[in-house]
Amino acid sequence: MLANFVIIIYVALVWAFTFIFLKMEEADVPPITIMAGRSIIAFVCLLAFAIVTKKDLIGHLKHLGIFLVFALLGIVALWIGLAFGQEDVSAGIASVMVTTVPLLTFIILVVILREERFSMEGLAGLLLGIAGIVLVIGIHKIMAGGATLKGVILIGGGFVCFGINGVLVGKWAKHIDPIVTSTYYLLLAGIVLTALAFIFENPTQVPWTVDNYLEELAIGVICTASGYFLYYYLIHRAGAYTSSFIFYFIPIFGLLGGHLFLNETVVLSQIIGVAAIVGGVYLINRAKLHGKA
């Protein structure tokens, strides 16, 4: 039990700090270039782990088309949305947008596909979560439109793709080792993102600094490779329900980290909003668990 809690806290922390490192690095490095480097570094780490643990990578080449879909939806679309969206949104607000994933998954599985049982408790959780996100972003910023709204739309669009990808992974890759799946779609995403970076940003002309290299390594090794591995390990160890608790802590760590390391302002309405989101995600997961019981 203690080990599960430690993993939950660690993954939530490193995923929250992805937004902080990204905000720091975007001051000097173009967004697609950052994400291309992140994907390649994470791929190398997971490839090494897959080889050491003797995962059957060659035997899954037949699923290359499926892995490409996962790469485009779960990484390329998501990370490009994050990279460009966070140019206009604080790291704290961007980290809170992660919580749209369980909310979107509820909409897809319960409302659209009707593969899980509908419940008033789940609906209440969805509405509470949406209200919380609005509070964190700020009603006045949403109504005013402009850069903040554009950033939220880009990030939200990325997480829509990620939510759809999560449903597809559950359908198409249920019996494939998640380390194999992650290794392949990080490789394919790295190829696509590198191509886009050379087309639109010319990474060879970027004035890289030591800080940029360290930030890139932190995003690739700690936030992505170790975060992905431990997330999937926790799913196998304790199940999807326990793993979902990661989403409760990401917005808390994101707002706190943005305040401490980037001097971002945190107001009372955002704290209330995070509490509402955490409550909404809890209600949705509890409703889904009871629906399967």
Q: pLDDT, tens digit, for every residue of 110-124?
A: 878 887 788 888 889
Does the pLDDT of residue 287 top 70, yes or no?
no
Percent of the chain at pLDDT > 90 equals 46
Judge contact between 183 and 75, C-beta under 8 A. Answer: no
pLDDT at site 14:
94
Judge contact between 238 and 4, C-beta under 8 A. Answer: yes
Cα dihedral sign for 106, 126, 240, 57?
positive
CA distance 138 to 119: 29
Tokens 């609005």: give the residue. Answer: 134
pLDDT at site 18:
92
What integer is the mean pLDDT of 133-151?
A: 82
Residue 102's nearest CA partner among 292, 290, 291, 287 is 287
Written as six digits, the tokens of 135 are 């509070």
Gyration radius of the chain over CA positions: 18
pLDDT at site 186:
93
pLDDT band for 293, please (50, 70, 90 cuts): very low
CA distance 234 to 244: 10
Tokens 């390391």: give the residue. Answer: 261
155 vs 233: which has the higher pLDDT: 155
pLDDT band for 62, please (50, 70, 90 cuts): very high
pLDDT at site 113:
80
Most confident segment among 162-166, 189-193, 285-289: 189-193
What integer is the mean pLDDT of 141-155?
A: 82
**204-238 tens-digit pLDDT:** 888 888 999 999 999 999 999 998 788 877 877 77
Average pLDDT across the chain, whole number: 87
**253-270 tens-digit pLDDT:** 999 999 999 999 989 999
pLDDT at site 288:
60
pLDDT at site 54:
93
pLDDT at site 167:
80
Does the pLDDT of residue 70 top 60, yes or no?
yes
Judge contact between 194 and 36, C-beta under 8 A. Answer: yes
Angle between helix 178-200 and helix 78-85 axes, rounded to 10 deg: 50
pLDDT at site 188:
96
Q: Where are the domains of the chain?
A: 9-292
What integer is the mean pLDDT of 172-192?
A: 89
Does the pLDDT of residue 185 top 70, yes or no?
yes
193 vs 243: which has the higher pLDDT: 193
pLDDT at site 290:
58
Number of H helices, E strands in the chain: 15, 0
